[in-house]
Amino acid sequence: MAADTSHTAIPSPADDLVTVSRVRDILDEWYPPSLAESWDAPGLVCGDPDDTVSHIVCALEATDDVVDAAIAAHADMLVVHHPLLMRGVSSVAADTAKGRIIHQLIRHRIALMSAHTNADAAVGGVNDVLARLLGVVVERPLEPVTQAVDLWGVQVPLDSSEALRNALFDAGAGRFDGYDQCSFETVGRGQFRPLDGSHPTIGTAHEVETVEEARIHVVAPTWARSAVRSALVAAHPYEVPAYDVTTIDSGARPGPTTPGIGRVGHLDEPMTLRSFTRRVSERLPRTVWGVRAAGDPDQPVNTVALCSGAGDSLLDAAAASNADVYLTSDLRHHPADEHLRAGGPALVDTAHWASESPWCADVARRLHEELGLPCRDLGIRTDPWTLGAAVAQ
């Protein structure tokens, strides 16, 4: 079972109450919704964003048992991995399976929020938790997210260029592939003529003015666009700054801090497939599904590709990664068999719940450290499989 990560509450000042909206903002920062797959539906399912939160509980999904436990714990918010309403529904009546849960949550003023494939892809998310638990040192994502960035260009008088450049850096611009404070600058002559109603910093109405200016180029994450623009306008000496923004592919090489589905890395110590399978069985929560492997039990394993949850759609990516083994969940017979026949890496198959549930304790810990509130993993097994039998080898 997942460990209990409850903590003693740290009092918060009355004027610094934690709200549902604040928790949502923190989770969206850690696990950006933009990283979610197009078919996914993470986010706030129910709850008033202005409601106060004093106790948060976490689970892999919102089942009846989980909601009952959240109510018993007097929680104000339930954070889960699997969305409750991922596909369209025509009714949330209380006599339907999902409607019953929604009504219980609303009746007891418990907000429900999920972070699904966005938490899978985010750095520090579900796959990184799984890799850390299994002793895999992450080198890159298995399937990187295309990293679009904004390229900003802004003209500014030479004597104000340094102050503007530093303001852009402080707002999150100028970071690229392991470097920060990156910029490119060219010097030229700017020209303008102030018209009636303008209030020029330099120049006189109806007279053409020329100024020696620098054009500063910086890159910035697309999600930081608002902050960068605000910093640019605040630091620029002109009444109306001249700037442009273009969104481009960053071209950065994938690394440990690149978001994406799955992970590829090396083991903290090389071992055989047999030993790695045993390690997985010992370190993941136990399930009746257990852990099974396909490949030569004595083959050496150093490089591991992994994907929490159902990952047979990434078998080709695992083969292209040159990993010795690919670990995921819910592998089907034919895709697995064809993968092995094509010379792909050995396979380790785990229960879906087992590969994802360790994230629950991790997000509870992070929320507690960030907010100073009681936050804990409920530790409820939501794996649907309840009985298993195996033939002794």
Q: Which two tokens stand for residue 17?
A: 């109450």
* pLDDT (average), residues 62-74: 98
Q: Which two tokens stand for residue 64?
A: 């009846």
Choose the final residue of a domain: 214, 249, 284. 249
Q: What is the pLDDT of residue 10?
A: 42
Binned at pLDDT 50, 70 and 90, residue 393 comes out as low
* pLDDT (average), residues 351-358: 97
CA angle at 380 for the pair 86 and 325, rounded to the nearest 5°: 75
Residues 307 and 333 both lie in one domain: yes
Asked whether residue 155 is domain-assigned, the answer is yes
Q: How far apart are CA 363 and CA 366, in angstroms?
A: 5
Q: What is the pLDDT of residue 391?
A: 65
Q: How far apart are CA 137 and CA 299, in angstroms?
A: 20
Which CATH number covers residue 228? Answer: 3.30.70.120
Q: Which two tokens stand for residue 362?
A: 């991790």
Asked whether residue 380 is domain-assigned, the answer is no
Q: pLDDT above 70 covers what percent of the chain?
A: 95
Query: What is the number of alpha carbons within 13 Å of residue 17 lying toward its C-beta?
Result: 12
Q: In what order do the strands lie in the sheet with 243-249?
A: 184-192, 209-221, 148-157, 243-249
Residues 219 and 341 both lie in one domain: no
Taking only the tens place, the pLDDT of each residue in 260-282 is 999 999 999 999 999 999 999 99
* pLDDT (average), residues 300-319: 97
Residues 128 and 267 both lie in one domain: yes
Q: Which two tokens stand for residue 266?
A: 């090396």
Asked whether residue 382 is domain-assigned, the answer is no
Length of the chain: 393
Q: Is the pLDDT of residue 1 over 60?
A: no
Mean pLDDT of the chain: 92
Q: What is the pLDDT of residue 6?
A: 41
Binned at pLDDT 50, 70 and 90, residue 34 comes out as confident
Taking only the tens place, the pLDDT of each residue in 234-258 is 999 999 999 999 998 877 788 898 8
Residues 173 and 303 both lie in one domain: no
Q: pLDDT above 90 covers what percent of the chain?
A: 83
Residues 129 and 157 both lie in one domain: no
Total-model pTM: 0.78
Taking only the tens place, the pLDDT of each residue in 165-201 is 999 999 999 988 778 999 999 999 999 999 998 988 8
Asked whether residue 138 is domain-assigned, the answer is yes
Asked whether residue 386 is domain-assigned, the answer is no
Instruction: Please give, one letter per residue, the 3-state secondary structure of the chain.
Output: CCCCCCCCCCCCCHHHCCEHHHHHHHHHHHCCHHHCCCCCCCEEEECCCCCECCCEEEECCCCHHHHHHHHHCCCCEEEECCCCCCCCCCCCCCCCHHHHHHHHHHHCCCEEEECCHHHHHCCCCHHHHHHHHCCEEEEEEEEECCCEEEEEEEEEEHHHHHHHHHHHHHCCCCCECCECCCCEEEEEEEEECCCCCCCCCCCCCCCCEEEEEEEEEEEEEHHHHHHHHHHHHHHCCCCCCCEEEEEEECCCCCCCCCCEEEEEEEEEEEEEHHHHHHHHHHHCCCCCCCEEEECCCCCEEEEEEEEEEECHHHHHHHHHCCCCEEEEECCCHHHHHHHHHCCCCEEEEECHHHHHCHHHHHHHHHHHHHHCCCEEECCCCCCCCCCCCCCCC
Residues 132 and 153 both lie in one domain: no
Residues 45 and 192 both lie in one domain: no
Question: In terms of DSSP bridges, do strands 300-310 and 243-249 run parallel, antiparallel, or are they unpaired?
Answer: unpaired
Q: What is the pLDDT of residue 221?
A: 87
Residues 266 and 141 both lie in one domain: yes
Q: Looking at this protein, which amino acid is placed at residue 163?
A: A
User: How far apart, in Å, are the Cα atoms of 96 and each of 83, 111, 113, 136, 392?
Assistant: 16, 19, 20, 42, 42
Q: Is the pLDDT of residue 123 over 60?
A: yes
Q: Looking at this protein, which amino acid is placed at residue 157?
A: P
Q: Is the pLDDT of residue 15 over 60?
A: no
Residues 84 and 37 both lie in one domain: yes
Binned at pLDDT 50, 70 and 90, residue 14 comes out as very low
Asked whether residue 183 is domain-assigned, the answer is yes
Query: What is the number of alpha carbons within 13 Å of residue 263 lying toward its C-beta?
Result: 29
Q: How far apart are CA 316 and CA 334, in angstroms?
A: 14
Buried b (16+ CB within 10 A) or exposed e, 354-363: bbbbbbbbbb
Residues 169 and 225 both lie in one domain: yes
Which CATH number covers residue 82? Answer: 3.40.1390.30
Residues 238 and 272 both lie in one domain: no
Work out how many domains the chain is built from and give that number: 3
Q: What is the pLDDT of residue 314?
A: 97
Asked whether residue 38 is domain-assigned, the answer is yes
Binned at pLDDT 50, 70 and 90, residue 389 comes out as confident
Q: Domain span at residue 315?
A: 123-145+259-353
* pLDDT (average), residues 9-22: 68
Q: Is the pLDDT of residue 380 over 90?
A: yes
Q: What is the pLDDT of residue 70?
A: 98
Q: What is the pLDDT of residue 24?
A: 97
Q: Is the pLDDT of residue 13 over 90?
A: no
Asked whether residue 333 is domain-assigned, the answer is yes
Residue list for the binding site for a divalent metal cation: 81-82, 120, 352, 356
CB-based burial of residue 1 (10 Å sphere; 0-12 exposed, 13-18 middle, 19+ buried)?
Answer: exposed
Question: In terms of DSSP bridges, do strands 111-114 and 77-80 run parallel, antiparallel, or are they unpaired?
Answer: parallel
Taking only the tens place, the pLDDT of each residue in 85-107 is 988 888 999 999 999 999 999 99
Q: What is the pLDDT of residue 88?
A: 80
Do 301 and 265 form a contact (C-beta atoms < 8 A)?
no
Residues 207 and 192 both lie in one domain: yes
Alpha carbon of residue 344 to chain centroid: 28
Q: Is the pLDDT of residue 290 over 70?
A: yes
